[in-house]
Amino acid sequence: MVVGSRRGLRFAALGTLLAVFALPAYADDPTPPPPASVTDVNRSLEQLQAEAAAVQADFAKATIAYTNALKAAQAAEAAAKKAETSATASKGKADEERRRLGLLTVQAYQTGIPTVMGAESMLWSLAPIAENLQEIADRQTAIQQLGSTQVTQYQTAMAAENEAGRAKSEAASMRAAANEAAAKAKQLSQEVQQKAAGASLMMESQYADLDGASALSKQLQLARNQQALARWQAYLTELATAKITPPAAAALKNPARLPAGLVPLTRAGVPVPGAAALVRGGRTVKVLPAETIRAVNQAFSLLGKPYGVAATGPDSYGCLGAARVAWQPYTTLPNLVGKVYPEYQAVPASQVQPGDLLVMGNKSLGLVHIGIALENGEMIAADEAKGAVVVTRVPDNLYAALRPTLGRPVKPQAAPVATSEAYAFRCGNTATSYNVGSGSWTWPLAEGTYEIGTSYGQAGSLWASGYHSGQDFPAAVGTPVRAVTSGVVRVEHPAWAGNLVRIDHGNGLETYYGHLSTVDVADGSQVSAGQRIGAVGSEGNSTGPHLHFEVRLGGDPVNPMPFLATGSATVGWGGFSNGMIPASKLCALGSGHMLRCDAAAAYLRLARAYRAQFGRTLCITDSYRSYSSQVSLYARKPSLAALPGTSNHGWGVAVDLCGGVDRFGTAQYQWMKSQAAKFGWVHPSWADQGGSREEPWHWEFGKPAVS
């Protein structure tokens, strides 16, 4: 509770700072310094999310350990029972062989045939048949057989006795292992229950903080939008004061042929095509084309408009929709980000100017996001995570900058091929869920060789981004560092990391290993899970020996802990952890049910169509599920419920339905199967009849249909 109180005080103080520094849309001083609290509070929200994700990861790790122990106990119990059955059978076989030997020994004795067995062996062989001496029948036949079979039968009986002893010993060992495994599973079960209670309590205590942090973050985003607009207006005022009429784009295309009075705008001594400069009174004023200024003005007019998947306005905009509207009517952008890149001339990152189209992505994933460039490393973009068109920083995964006023590329520009995962990385948002694949996934350091250090999301001035983008593991210099899963190596030496190994695992997933003292893999090599790639060090910007470990999806850093805990992960939609989405970020369906807003809008459209077909309301039993309620459900129904922190209910994109939809073969279910996809709702294959877990009632908001 003390932590919660501190957060409340922190948010209140930052709210006061915001009130002091926030700008109106048309301030007298259009270029005040941005409030320091903007970065701090945004990181505070992310840090709060990281704390929640760490709790979830800890619970997941304990649960998986318990699940594995339970499976091991069940396997050990089955092995023990099998060994005990085998031992019983072996004992029976040994007794039978010993009885046969006894009969032969008696026959030999009664017929007077010399025996090669000593007295002790004879007594051993006679013990089982002491009361069956009358079983000897044909003495003459026995005389003929005994000589050749007695020794062989003795050897057979002894081998059977030895096997019976071995089987008995093995069965005892198996039983001991089964008992030990059962005790371990029981202990871990108790630990999981304790962690579940603690995790649920902590999640409950954070909900109010989340809503407060989310509301403050929204206010700070508004302040950032207004500050960027004020800076742009200051530039337009500067043009007007200098009595500059922005020329047409064609006039500025060639720096060597500019209108009279204008000189080339240079960056690092290189002329910038598509822009110019005016030098007056010792002051240089940047001159952008009229078409570019119009595009930026139109982009600013979209700020605050709601985000909508593939929406083109006027009420909501998708990532490409906002960029398209900004640059019309000068040019109409293609309908896919990957198709935009080949159509317009790319410019070096050092020459980026306001109005340029910024495309984000990478070679292994494809292009996934687009924005309109501003000054100060910012851009205007429709951002799914923010739920609106906003001013945001240019992300690390900037692939290229394009300048529409320069026309088609001088040389062909081929966009990287988009993978099947690319659509999940829409508009600045990482995938809601991400499976790291069927291959093994291990920790980067061996158990017992490290400590848990600075967590992901911690705010501070030590990091250029204003927050910690990975998870630190303090360890001794020279401790072996391992690849967490298979991929292709890229070795780099940035100042902050000293020695850095990046591993591309495909489909937008990368892992980073920083501050290494040695690198043991070659650039471009293929590595497997658990393979040594280097050793812990303290190179670069480091306060002591440790491994800085990152997981990046589509170029954006995400909390590594859920990945390490589960080997696959659901990661933060909108920066929020599973089951920890504030109520302010969800939209109501009625009867207390809520979903993520885009999923809610699609569900309501689906419900209207359902009512038109059947004349009654679509029946719903479950929608968004908080983390604490996931824990509760998992405790009651571990065989049916998803592991807490991994359920799509926790992202607000899943519903459980009733009223006929909950039974295979009904008219209602068949209608959903044929119609729901038109509204973006799908029945996952695992829930189909014959799937791994048959659940006709479970439906998820998937890839939306694009008209």
pLDDT in tens, 225-263: 999 999 999 999 999 999 999 999 999 999 999 999 999
Task: Over range 608-620, report the average pLDDT.
Answer: 96
Looking at residue 404, what is its pLDDT?
Answer: 97
Helix (H/G/I), strand (E/B), else coil: 404 = helix
Beta carbons within 8 Å of 175's beta carbon, 6+ residues apart:
80, 83, 84
* Mean pLDDT (whole number) for 255-273: 94
**Maximum average pLDDT range among 45-49, 208-212, 291-295:** 291-295
Residue 361 pLDDT > 60, yes or no?
Answer: yes
pLDDT at 642: 78
**Band of pLDDT at residue 135, cut at 50, 70 and 90:** very low
Q: How far apart are CA 568 and CA 436, in angstroms?
A: 5
Domain that holds residue 304: 292-427
Mean pLDDT of 412-419: 90
402: phi then psi, degrees, rounded to nearest 5: -120, 145
pLDDT at residue number 56: 77
Q: Whole-angstrom Cα distance, residue 312 to residue 38?
A: 30
Query: Where among 373, 408, 427 does a domain terminate?
Result: 427
Please tell me the distance from the alpha carbon of residue 451 to that of residue 464, in angstroms, as a whole number.
24
Q: What average pLDDT does range 521-525 have in this prediction?
A: 96
Work out the pLDDT band at 34, boundaries 50, 70, 90: very low
Give the whole-angstrom CA distance, residue 436 versus residue 439: 8
Backbone angles phi, psi at 263, to 5 degrees: -125, 160
- Decide if pLDDT at 539 tops 80: yes
Residue 255 resides in a domain: no
Tell me how far apart the alpha carbons of residues 645 and 79 are, in angstroms, rounded to a whole number. Answer: 33
* pTM, rounded to two decimals: 0.73
Whether residues 101 and 168 share a domain: the answer is yes
Lowest mean pLDDT among 290-294, 553-557, 563-567: 563-567
Residue 389 has pLDDT above 90, yes or no: yes
DSSP, collapsed to helix, strand or coil, labels residue 547 as strand
**Separation CA 317–CA 327 (nearest Å):** 14
> Range with the lowest mean pLDDT among 332-341, 480-489, 645-654?
645-654
Contact (CB, 8 A) for 506 and 487: yes
Residue that finishes a domain, picked among 571, 597, 620: 571
Residue 11 scores a pLDDT above 70: no
Is the peptide bond preceding residue 34 cis, with omega within 30 degrees of 0?
A: no
Whether 521 shows a pLDDT value over 90: the answer reads yes
Token reading at 601: 């809008």
pLDDT for residue 33: 38
Q: What is the CATH number of the domain that holds 633?
A: 3.30.1380.10
Q: Are residues 555 and 668 in the same domain?
A: no
Does residue 252 form part of some domain? no
Q: Tally Cβ neighbours within 10 Å of residue 462.
A: 12
> Band of the pLDDT at 704, cuts 50, 70, 90?
very low
Do 565 and 471 belong to one domain?
Answer: yes
Assigned domain for 162 exists:
yes
- Pair (495, 592) in one structural domain: no
Q: What is the mean pLDDT of residues 458-470?
A: 78
Q: Residue 682: inside a domain, yes or no?
A: yes
* Mean pLDDT of all residues in 63-87: 87
Domain contains 259: no
pLDDT of residue 544: 94
Domain count, the chain: 4
CA distance 456 to 53: 10
How confident is the model at residue 480, as a pLDDT?
98
357 & 387 share domain: yes
72 domain-assigned: yes
Shared-domain flag, residues 66 and 208: yes
Query: Which amino acid appears at position 145 of this protein?
Result: Q
pLDDT at 129: 55
Q: Is residue 262 part of a domain?
A: no
Say yes or no: 87 and 222 in one domain.
yes
Whether residue 64 is found in the same domain as residue 170:
yes
Q: What is the DSSP string of 321-359?
A: HHHHHHHTTT----SSHHHHGGGS-EE-GGG--TT-EEE
Tokens 């100017």: give the residue: 353
Does residue 602 form part of some domain?
yes
The pLDDT value recorded for residue 623 is 96
Question: Per-residue pLDDT for 21 more than 60?
Answer: no
Paired tokens of 606: 């689906």
- What is the pLDDT at residue 31? 36
Q: What is d(CA 609, CA 605) in angstroms, rounded to the nearest whole number?
A: 6
Which letter does DSSP use for residue 639 in this model? T
Please name every residue paired with 500 in a beta bridge, in sequence order, or none if there are none. 492
551: left (phi over 0), alpha (psi -120 to 50) or beta: beta
**pLDDT over 60 (residue 106):** yes
Can you tell me the mean pLDDT for 581-593? Answer: 89
Do 519 and 382 fall within a single domain?
no
What are 471-496's pLDDT values in tens digits?
999 999 999 999 999 999 999 999 99
Q: 106 or 580, which is more confident?
A: 580
Lowest mean pLDDT among 155-164, 306-315, 565-574, 601-610: 565-574
Picking from 131, 121, 106, the residue whose alpha carbon sits closest to that of residue 157 is 121
Q: Bigger pLDDT: 148 or 519?
A: 519
Confidence of residue 127 (pLDDT cuts 50, 70, 90): low
Residue 122 pLDDT: 53
Last residue of a domain, one of 547, 571, 595: 571
Crossing angle for the helix pair 667-675 and 597-614, to the nearest 10 degrees: 130
Between CA 489 and CA 512 the distance in angstroms is 10
Residue-level pLDDT at 433: 65
Segment among 62-71, 434-443, 522-531, 625-634 with least mean pLDDT: 434-443
Question: Residue 296 is part of a domain; what is its CATH number?
Answer: 3.90.1720.10
Q: Which residues pair with 469 in a beta bridge?
A: none
Closest Cα partner for 352 from 273, 431, 282, 416? Answer: 273
pLDDT at 42 over 60: no
What was the pLDDT predicted at 35? 38
Whether 338 contacts 411, CB under 8 Å: no
Query: Confidence class of residue 523 from pLDDT cuts 50, 70 and 90?
Result: very high
- The CATH code of the domain that includes 533 is 2.70.70.10
Q: Is the pLDDT of residue 438 over 60?
A: no
Among 353, 342, 476, 344, smallest CA distance to 415 is for: 342
CB atoms inside a 10 Å sphere around CB 322: 30
What's the confidence (pLDDT) of residue 294?
A: 98
* Top-confidence residue, 319 or 475: 475
Pair (203, 330) in one structural domain: no
Q: Are residues 539 and 666 in the same domain?
A: no
Looking at the fold, whether 555 and 618 belong to one and the same domain comes out as no
pLDDT at 116: 55
- Angle formed by the axes of helices 627-636 and 139-241, to 10°? 170
108: tokens are 């030999």
Contact 60, 645 (CB under 8 A): yes
Mean pLDDT of the chain: 83
